[in-house]
Amino acid sequence: MEYQCGAVGRVLYVRFDHGDDLVAGLAELARKEKVRCGWFHLFGGLAGAGVVTGPKEPTVPPEPVWQEVNDTREVLGTGSIFLDGDEPRIHLHAAMGHHGETLTGCVRRDTEVYLVMEAVLFEITGLDVTRPWFAEGGFFRPTFAPAEQET
């Protein structure tokens, strides 16, 4: 386990509209507002998404199991934003309901908003955390800068 302590900076309340790309929009917002580290919660609707529902087998690196969502879903999700160089990396997990059935997974691509999606983004200040590619694990992993030594 590794960790750092930070504080909540700005709080951004965001509305995504029908047809917007949710994941691309979150990354665009992080770039525009220079959010280096953040945590967000969201709820609303998606008309489609590419979702990883788990690994095929419990191996490292994992082989992801993809499910393409091509119907409207009610969504409740949470995630983080950390930079990989200058690129914001979004990690979003969500429960997505449709007519009483729920799909839960890591929402990664083709995230088309249905009607509206609301999000609250909490900027976290005082952290030195990035999300570079972790080749051994096969994913973008939060990475902590070494702590400064006290003398």
Cα angle for residues 46, 50, 54 (degrees, 5° grid): 120
pLDDT of residue 147: 66
- Confirm whether 150 is domain-assigned: no
- Express each pLDDT in 74-133 by its tens digit: 999 999 999 999 999 999 999 999 999 999 999 999 999 999 999 999 999 999 999 999
Residue 1 lies in a domain: no
In a domain, 18, yes or no: yes
Cα 132 off chain centre by:
14
Alpha helix ranges (H) inside the chain: 22-33
Within a domain: residue 149?
Answer: no
Instruction: Note the pTM of the prediction, 2 decimals.
Output: 0.92
Residues 6+ apart with CB under 8 A from 148: none
> What is the distance between the alpha carbons of residues 38 and 110, in angstroms, rounded to a whole number?
22
Expressed as residue numbers, the domain containing 18 is: 7-144
Residues 6+ apart with CB under 8 A from 150: none
Q: Which residues of 19-37 are buried (b: 16+ CB within 10 A; e: fewer)?
A: ebbbbebbbebbeeeebbb
Domain count across the chain: 1
CATH code, domain with 51: 3.30.1330.80
